[in-house]
Structure formats: structure tokens, C-alpha cells
Amino acid sequence: MIALLTRDLKLAMRAGGGFGLGLAFFLIVVTLVPFGVGPQSDLLSKIAPGILWLGALLACLLSLDRVFALDWEDGSLDLLATSPLPMEGIVTIKALAHWLTTGLPLVLAAPLFGLLLSLPTPGYAPLVLSLLLGTPALSVIGTFGAALTVGLKRGGLLLSLLVLPLYVPTLIFGAEMARRGVEGLDTTTPLLMLAGITCGTIALLPFASAAVLKVNLR
Amino acid sequence: MGLNVSNLTIARGGIKVLEGLNLSLEAGQALVLRGPNGVGKTTLLRTIAGLQPPIEGTIKADPETMVYAGHADGLKPTLTVEENLTFWASVFATSDIDAAIDAFHLDALRTRPAGALSAGQKRRLGLARLLVTGRPIWILDEPTVSLDVDAVRMFADTVRHHLGQGGSALIATHIDLGLPDAGILDVGPYRARAMNPDDFDEAFL
């Protein structure tokens, strides 16, 4: 398991691995939005939490089709499926590797990007916390979508269509928590909901992903 | 520790390809599968390896004793030869990759990224993976594709050594590997009869 994780991280870091793709996309969204809405910093600071969450979500989506596709193409997935590793473990590690290479950098970069959108000072801590709690769910749900579409050539479109509706609850509660943080309101309720969604997906979805992956390998 | 397959029926894409197939493999034995392209050799090997369920029949073998090597070698182009093998060794909870490197003469290529290898060298690396898994039953699908004459001999020697140590191998191949006591199974006669649905609707069920 650890070997699979270190291999995936190593692959992501090397040439063509796609590390930084999500981060670069996030940066592009965040720098372009002020050009799009104009230089009104009060408007920007109002929409900043939503934009930051949307940017993070889309950046996450961008790298999802790589989760299994590369291993499928070169035959590693067949070999992993016949290896001693349980399929549930494989998909969990894949989701974790996706989060470490996409979600975690987004969380760490979010304060900097908040600055670009003139996010009000009280909003930083809730924003980072909401992303930290929410992005693992994005990776786990996304891994499920990737497992569903693994054998398809150019499955990216289908993957986005399948995964986006499943992302909605995470987005609603995540953005709500960040917004309440900006306005200085109590963030407990969205925080609990967000944490609940993440824990639920981590507990249940690996089994579903493993099952569909087994079907797709036939 | 053997492999015993009885009355097996397998399908590919919902269409039966082979039926009523029996085979058994004991420790120290090799069995070569023959048959024309498209007859279902790959499907048979994938079914035995546990990647897909059979339609009918039983496969008696411990999945933890088998290792499968298909058409694709499962190599990561940006990892070096050594890193690729070390990864598979740790997945299969073994640690010795030197024997595998020696058996397929990969020593000079150790630090080369797998993406920079030739097709034959990639295949040698893919076959070297079998040795690092430490599993006794090898399920091999066309292992000699893109190997040159020397490499084929290298591979045959490795298989012979593996059999000598009590391992066994099930190999689908079209060439003669020079394994004198290997059994040969022609899967052609087990080809499934074309389905003749009784009525029109049944064809869609």
C-alpha cells in the first residue's frame, strides 16, 4: 500500500505527472475573475469565498481522469488487481494520492489566492478549514467517478457529468462555511455537515469504487 | 498448490468463446495453450487469473499463488528499471530484485527510465516482474512478443529454472519455447457453439 502511494506521488512529481496542474488552473481562475468582474474590491470580497470554492472544485475535476486511466492503459491496473493488495485498498490509496497532489496544494495555496480576491481578514481561517475538510470528499467522489469511466476512451466528459452532481453538497456546505466566516457568523453547522459528508464518502465510496472497478476490468 | 480447471465456460463481451474446458497443472509442470487468434486464449487466462468470473465451471486454485502477465507490461515510463521492479517487489511483499535483473540481463539498464527502453527490453522488464513476485503459478499471455532469439532463450531458461524449483506455468504462445516436457493444449476444439436463440426476443436478453 505504502509502495503504491509513494509510486503515485513519485509519478506525479516527475515529468508529465500532472502535479501542479490543478494549482495552476486555480491560480488562473483566481487571477482572471477580478478582470472579469471589474476592480470593485467590495464586490470581490463578497464573492471571494464562492469563487475560491468553485476554483478548487474545478481544479480537482481537471485531474480526475488521470486517476485510473494511466494505470489502465499500461496494464498496471490488471496487475494490481491480481496482486495481494485488496481493491478497496488500491482505490483508497489512489484517492489519497489524488488528494495529496491536488487537494492539499489547493488548501495550502488558498490563503494566498484569497489575498488576490481581497478576501476579508476574518474569512481566512474558515476558508482554509472548509477546504481542508471538503477537498478529501472531492477526491474520494472523483475516484469513484474515475473508476466508473475507466475503460472508456475520452471518458472525461462522462466523468464530469457523473461527478458534478455528487459534488454539489460539498460545494454548498463548503462555500457556506467560508461565506459565514467572512461575515463573522457562526460556522458550526456547515462545518459539521461538511465533515459529515467527507467522513461518509471516505467510509462508503471506496467499496463502491472497488466494485465498479472489478466490473470494468472484465 | 496446483491449478485445476473443470468444465469451464467463459465469455468475452457477453458472447461465449470457450466451453467445457478442463485443464490441470501440477507443481513443476508447464502447459502451453495453442489456438488461432480470437479463439479465447486471453479470456481464458484472464478468467483463471481472477480478473473476470467464469460463466460456468470451477477454477480450483489459490489466487494468492498465481501471477498474471498480459499483453501490457504495466511499466511506468518515468520510473527507472530498478524503481519499476522495486515497486512490484514491495506490492508482492518481497525484496530481492537482483535475481530478476540477472535473469533477464537488465543490469546495464538499471537506471534507465522504462520509457527509454526498446520494445524487447520493456518486455524483458515485464517478464522480470514475474520473478520478483515470488509466486509459483505463472499465467502468461504471449510472453515472447517482441523478444529476439536470445531473449526468448533467456525466457525459456527462466521458465525451466522456475519449473525446476517446483513452480508451474500456463503459457499462451505461438512459438516453440523448447520446453521438452511441457504439455500442449489446443483450445480450438473447446470453441463455444454459436448461440441459436429460440425466439427473437431471447437474443436481446
Per residue in A11-35, pLDDT (tens digit) is 888 876 677 888 899 999 999 998 9
What chain A residue is nearest to B54 in terms of C-alpha separation? A218
| CB within 8 Å: A3 and B90 | yes
Percentage of residues in chain B having pLDDT higher than 70: 94
For B164, residues 6+ apart whose C-beta sits below 8 A from its C-beta are B28
A216 touches chain B (CB under 8 A): no
Question: In this predicted complex, what is the ipTM?
Answer: 0.84
Task: Give the containing element (helix H, strand E) for B102.
Answer: helix B98-103
Alpha helices in chain A (DSSP H): 2-13, 21-37, 41-62, 66-73, 76-81, 87-98, 104-116, 124-148, 156-183, 188-217
Side by side, the strands of the sheet bearing B56-60 are B15-25, B3-12, B56-60
Distance CA A210, CA A216 (A): 10
* pLDDT tens per residue, range B171-204: 998 888 877 778 888 888 888 876 665 666 666 6
Above 90 in pLDDT, residue A195? Answer: yes
| CB within 8 Å: B87 and A15 | no
Question: What integer pLDDT is reported at residue B202 of this predicted model?
Answer: 63
Question: What integer pLDDT is reported at residue A194 of this predicted model?
Answer: 93
Above 70 in pLDDT, residue A4? Answer: yes
Distance from CA of A83 to the nearest CA of B (A): 7
| Cβ burial, residue B21 (10 Å; 0-12/13-18/19+) | buried
* pLDDT tens per residue, range B31-85: 888 888 888 888 999 999 888 888 888 888 888 888 999 888 888 888 899 888 8
Tell me the three cell numbers of residue A128: 482554509
- The closest CB to that of A82, out of B51, B71, B87, belongs to B51
Q: Please report the domains of chain B, with CATH numbers, ordered by start residue.
A: 25-53+62-186 (3.40.50.300)
HSE-CB at B12 with a 13 A cutoff on CA atoms is 14
First vs last Cα of chain A: how many Å apart?
23
Above 90 in pLDDT, residue B102? Answer: no
Mutation target among B47, B76, B135 for the A interface, most CBs of A within 10 A: B76
- What is the 8-class DSSP label of residue B87? H
Distance CA A203, CA A88 (A): 11
Query: Which residues partner with B56 through β-bridges?
Result: B9
Q: Which amino acid is present at B137?
A: I
Tell me the three cell numbers of residue A200: 461518509
In chain B, residues with a C-beta closer than 8 Å to the C-beta of A73 are: 72
Above 80 in pLDDT, residue B146? Answer: yes
Distance CA A180, CA A129 (A): 12
| Cβ burial, residue A116 (10 Å; 0-12/13-18/19+) | middle
Q: Which of B24, B105, B12 is nearest to B54 (CA)?
A: B12
Question: What integer pLDDT is reported at residue B176 of this predicted model?
Answer: 80
In chain B, residues with a C-beta closer than 8 Å to the C-beta of A217 are: 51-52
Q: Three-state SS for A93? A: helix
Distance from CA of A84 to the nearest CA of B (A): 6
Burial string for B135-144 (b: 16+ CB within 10 Å, else e) reads bbbbbbbbbb
Question: What integer pLDDT is reported at residue A191 of this predicted model?
Answer: 93
**φ and ψ at B57, to 5 degrees?**
90, 175
Query: Which residues partner with A16 through β-bridges?
Result: none
What chain B residue is nearest to A5 in terms of C-alpha separation? B87
What chain B residue is nearest to A218 in terms of C-alpha separation? B52
Question: What integer pLDDT is reported at residue B203 of this predicted model?
Answer: 60
In chain A, residues with a C-beta closer than 8 Å to the C-beta of B71 are: 75
- What is the 8-class DSSP label of residue B109? G
Question: What integer pLDDT is reported at residue B1 of this predicted model?
Answer: 64
Q: Which amino acid is present at A154?
A: R
| CB within 8 Å: A217 and B78 | no
Tell me the three cell numbers of residue B168: 508451474
| CB within 8 Å: B73 and A74 | yes
